[in-house]
Amino acid sequence: MLHADVLQGTLAAVLFDLGGVLVHLDYATIAAEAASLGVALDASALVRAEGHARRAIDARAGLLGAVPGTDATRVPDYFDDLLAGADVAADARADLVPRLRDRHRESNLWRVPFAEAAATIARLRAAGLRLGVVSNADGRAAAVLEAAGLAGGFDAILDSHLEGVEKPDAEIFHRALARVGARAERTVFVGDILSIDIVGARDAGLRPILIDPASAYADVDVERIERLPELFARIGLADGGCA
């Protein structure tokens, strides 16, 4: 059955970040590139290391008082922080990061759908919620969603490269709200980086929920989930509800 909050219409929409929330890095490709340089990596190490990379973005934002650069300029740093979190030595990272940057340019490395993503989207739509994606992407967000088989589930897809504004700027959230036809106070945003997603959504008046599979933010006072299905209980969709 549906929770009373959903039946009474207190929640109208759910917006999602793309990378790290609906799709994740292609860990197999990263591991293969590393192996070509004699560096052994496994997926579990990279999952944990992503928490390290996300917190590194937050640390830089804290030092500067704002998130530095743009999403595009942060990609090499993210890969370097990811590999550092996986205990890859600095000299190996110096060789591997450019390879990953080039592979990402060729074909977006944030492209593997999370196992629960499609079912989560279907259940939210069945509950009558409007859905959107707000991504600091490079013009390929819609294509990534299409390739992952997820694009049809959304009422709006906002790609920062095409919008000319990116999170944490409240403007991109306001545009998303207008396109899905929902008010901020009746909308949840699910993101994976505190200084970009959670701060931005909160500043725009949305209810932010941080997805944190490696518990990298366990010390932070923020509403958190580890996996997408945990979202249902958070927003009032009882177990066994719409699927």
Looking at residue 239, its pLDDT comes to: 56
Dihedral of alpha carbons 173, 197, 44, 36, sign: positive
Tell me 186's DSSP state: G
84 residue type, one letter: A
Looking at residue 7, its pLDDT comes to: 38
Looking at residue 3, its pLDDT comes to: 39
135 residue type, one letter: S
Alpha carbons within 13 angstroms on the beta-carbon side of residue 170 total 7
Supply the CATH classification number for the domain 4-23+112-235: 3.40.50.1000
Tens place of pLDDT per residue across the chain (243 aa):
233 344 345 899 999 999 999 999 999 999 999 999 999 998 889 999 999 999 999 999 986 778 988 998 999 999 999 999 999 999 999 999 999 999 999 999 999 999 999 999 999 999 999 999 999 999 999 999 999 999 999 999 999 999 999 999 999 999 999 999 999 999 999 999 999 999 999 999 999 999 999 999 999 999 999 999 999 999 998 654 433
- Which SS3 state, helix, strand or coil, does residue 141 take? helix
| pTM score of the predicted model | 0.93
165 residue type, one letter: V
- Which SS3 state, helix, strand or coil, does residue 42 take? coil
Q: Output phi, psi for 16, to 5 deg.
A: -125, 145
Query: 171: which 2 tokens?
Result: 């403007």
Core vs surface per residue 178-215: b (16+ CB within 10 A) or e: ebbebebebbbbbbbbbbbbbbbbbebebbbbbbbbbe
Alpha carbons within 13 angstroms on the beta-carbon side of residue 215 total 2
Q: At what angle do helices 71-85 and 43-64 cross, to 10 degrees?
A: 130
Looking at residue 65, its pLDDT comes to: 76
Looking at residue 238, its pLDDT comes to: 67
Looking at residue 1, its pLDDT comes to: 28
177 contacts 146 by C-beta, under 8 angstroms: no
Looking at residue 68, its pLDDT comes to: 86
Quickly tell me which residue has 């996300």 as its tokens.
54
Residue 175, number of CB atoms within 10 A of its CB: 16
Looking at residue 2, its pLDDT comes to: 36
